Amino acid sequence: MSPTIFRYNNYRFFFFSREENRQHIHVISPDGEAKFWMKPGVELAQSVGFSKKKLNKLTEIIKDKKDEINQSWENHFGH
């Protein structure tokens, strides 16, 4: 299961239900995919296909939506 947290243009922000415990979010679009750690701060974990410019934009989007992402994580995983 991989619940979608939100969409922004052609980007889907989500996480996998059975992955690791460290809080993170995945992003996918036709251009590529990436994984960002959420704690202690937003940090790129890995990426394929996205340019540096797009990764910077995605980082800003995630920072802007951090509270929503954290709440969705808590609601889904119950931590």
Query: What is the residue-level pLDDT of the chain in tens, covering all 79 positions?
Result: 688 999 999 999 998 877 778 899 999 999 999 999 999 999 999 999 999 999 999 999 999 999 999 999 888 887 6
At 26 the pLDDT is 96
Sheet holding 43-48, edge to edge: 4-8, 11-14, 24-29, 32-37, 43-48
At 42 the pLDDT is 96
> 43 is written with which tokens?
């940090």
What residues does 14 pair with on adjacent strands? 4, 26
At 55 the pLDDT is 98
CA torsion, ordered 55, 56, 61, 65, to nearest 10 deg: 100
Supply the pTM of this predicted model.
Answer: 0.90
